[in-house]
Structure 1
């Protein structure tokens, strides 16, 4: 699937900025869940929670990088409207993993 590219008009409004900020907020939410998972893993002595947290930190960095790329794509002379399909699938998977890690970090009991 090819990205949809259009010429930028004189004033695109705040929509490109909101889109870029949404990627940044998603990265921050994933990073917070990574911290929760790592903390719960160390407190409960569960190495699988620590591993989930480390993977979530990597996903958070990727989501932030995608947000930076999207900000550049949406602020140029030609707007790339559709983000890469792989980025959307990856962020959706990371968000699900962050949710699962957050729930697991609350439910796990310290040993």
Structure 2
């Protein structure tokens, strides 16, 4: 999928700011899940949860990077409407990983 670009016409409104804030919230949510997985893994001695937490921290960094790229794309003289091709599958994978980490931490803590 190629990037779809349109010329910026006057005031783009608040859409670019909302997009940047949404990516920031997404990265924060992923980072919180990473902390919870790491804490549970370290307290209970579960290396799999520690690994999930580390992967989630990397995913949070990726979400921050996507947010920075989108902020630049939406603030220039030409707006790039299409996000990077890897952005949406990456966020979907991070969401699945966060869900697996949350479920695993509940199951591990419940059986301990």
The verdict on a shared fold, with TM-score over 0.5 as the criterion, is yes
CA-CA distance at 1:107 after TM superposition = 2.4
Q: How far apart in 2 are the matches of 1:93 and 1:78? A: 30
**Structure 1 unaligned blocks of 5 or more:** none
What is the aligned partner in structure 2 of residue 12 from structure 1?
12
What is the aligned partner in structure 1 of residue 53 from structure 2?
53
Cα deviation 1:1-23 (Å, max 9, x = unaligned): 11100000101100111011111
TM-score (norm 1): 0.95
RMSD between aligned alpha carbons?
1.1
Moved over 2 A (4+): none
What is the aligned partner in structure 2 of residue 81 from structure 1?
81
Q: Which moved more, 1:24-33 or 1:98-107?
A: 98-107
- Equivalent residues, number: 111
**Structure 2 unaligned blocks of 5 or more:** none
TM-score (norm 2): 0.94
Cα deviation 1:9-52 (Å, max 9, x = unaligned): 10110011101111111000000000000000011110000000
